[in-house]
Amino acid sequence: MRFLLYYLLGINLVTFIIYGIDKMKAIKNRRRVKESFLFTLGMLGGFAGAFLGMFSFHHKTRKFIFYLVNMIALIIWIIIGWWY
Residue 80: its pLDDT value, please?
86
Residue 67: its pLDDT value, please?
94
- Per the prediction, the chain carries an average pLDDT of 95
Residue 83: its pLDDT value, please?
86
Element (H, E) at 57: none
Rounded to the nearest 5 percent, the helix, strand and coil shares of the chain are 80, 0, 20
d(CA 79, CA 37): 23
d(CA 82, CA 10): 20
Dump pLDDT digits (tens) for 53-63. 999 999 999 99
What is the domain partition of the chain in residue ranges?
Answer: 2-83
d(CA 4, CA 46): 12
